[in-house]
């Protein structure tokens, strides 16, 4: 007799029989529950089902207009200070200059008609009541002494009122702070202006990579003011060679 006649494998077994046989095998082995390694919160309430929007709600949402972009601050130009005596207080208190943030703002320093106006992107991180009170300020003081300008003859100002790490300069320009900077220069009325860093230069309406001619600032209601563009103060502090280049540019500019 052929031994395969009584073999359980003598006839083909379908998928259903295979699955049933596998389950029976695990049951005989004493495994009749499903086990998971991840913990489960058995007493947690079931998640609430999200409500299904009605057709009229979906139509209204689709037709809802997009929020209007924030208006540039330049629309408030009529309320800007008309003289330098009131500018510092306005710079420290006006909410929309820094999206409502007032803490950490630092005022400019100097008097109108300065021989030289120094523009930097922002205050130093440790500035309190005095703008550029740290290493950058000491570098500026040394430069002023070297070129024969007394501290009282210089005006020091920043393009934004508060130290802002990773500042979004495109957004700052779009909000109109470039116009505020030009207005500030016009109120000071300096003989000359030095701008440190490409960000300040861009806010003054110049394209740093394409500068070939002598620069000047053209504030509204003011005569053109000669402008010298130098590298950032951070770069000058870190690279002594840049200081020598800045000195050569100053000598060529003042000739």
Going from N- to C-terminal start, the domains of the chain cover 84-254
User: In whole angstroms, what is the distance from residue 151 CA to residue 172 CA?
Assistant: 29
Q: If DSSP codes are grouped into helix, strand and coil, which group holds residue 188?
A: helix
Spacing of C-alpha 252 from chain mean position: 35
- CA dihedral sign of residues 41, 46, 48, 50: positive
User: In whole angstroms, what is the distance from residue 246 CA to residue 161 CA?
Assistant: 26
Please, are residues 120 and 132 in contact by the beta-carbon 8 Å criterion?
A: yes
Reading the chain (255 residues) residue by residue, the pLDDT tens digits are 444 444 444 455 676 777 777 777 666 666 655 555 566 665 666 666 656 656 555 555 445 455 444 445 545 688 899 999 999 999 999 998 998 889 999 999 999 999 999 999 999 999 999 999 999 999 999 999 999 999 999 999 999 999 999 899 999 998 899 999 999 999 999 999 999 999 999 898 876 655 555 788 887 777 889 999 999 999 999 998 999 999 999 999 987
Query: Residue 74's pLDDT is what?
Result: 45
User: In whole angstroms, what is the distance from residue 232 CA to residue 121 CA?
Assistant: 9
Q: Beta-carbon neighbour count of residue 79 at 10 Å?
A: 10
Query: Residue 123's pLDDT is what?
Result: 97
Name residue, tokens 């139509």. Answer: 59
User: What angle, 0 to 180 degrees and rounded to 10, lies between the N-to-C axes of helices 177-188 and 84-93?
Assistant: 150
In this structure, whether the domain defined by 84-254 belongs to CATH 1.10.3720.10 is answered with no
User: In whole angstroms, what is the distance from residue 176 CA to residue 250 CA?
Assistant: 30
DSSP secondary-structure letter at 85? H
**Cβ neighbours of residue 174 under 8 Å, at least 6 residues apart?**
72
Rounded to two decimals, what is the model's pTM?
A: 0.69
């Amino acid at each position: 007799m052929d031994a395969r006649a009584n073999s359980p494998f003598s006839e083909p077994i379908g998928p259903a029989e295979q699955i049933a046989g596998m389950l029976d095998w695990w049951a005989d082995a004493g495994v009749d529950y499903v086990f998971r390694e991840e913990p489960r919160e058995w007493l947690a309430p079931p998640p609430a089902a999200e409500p299904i929007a009605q057709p009229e709600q979906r139509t209204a949402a689709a037709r809802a207009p997009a929020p209007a972009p924030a208006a540039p601050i330049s629309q408030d130009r009529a309320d800007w200070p008309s003289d330098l005596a009131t500018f510092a207080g306005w710079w420290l208190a006006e909410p929309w200059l820094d999206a409502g943030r007032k803490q950490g703002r630092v005022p400019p320093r100097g008097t109108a008609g300065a021989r030289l106006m120094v523009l930097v992107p922002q205050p130093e991180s440790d500035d309190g009541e005095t703008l550029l009170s740290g290493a950058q300020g000491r570098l500026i003081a040394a430069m002023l002494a070297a070129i024969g300008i007394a501290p009282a003859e210089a005006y020091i100002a920043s393009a934004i009122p508060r130290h802002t790490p990773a500042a979004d300069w495109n957004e700052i320009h779009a909000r109109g702070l470039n116009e505020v900077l030009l207005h500030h220069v016009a109120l000071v009325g300096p003989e000359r202006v030095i701008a440190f860093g490409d960000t300040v230069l861009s806010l003054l309406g110049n394209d740093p990579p394409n500068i070939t001619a002598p620069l000047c600032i053209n504030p509204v209601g003011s005569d053109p003011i000669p402008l010298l563009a130098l590298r950032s103060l951070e770069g000058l502090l870190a690279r002594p060679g840049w200081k020598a280049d800045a000195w050569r540019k100053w000598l060529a500019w003042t000739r």
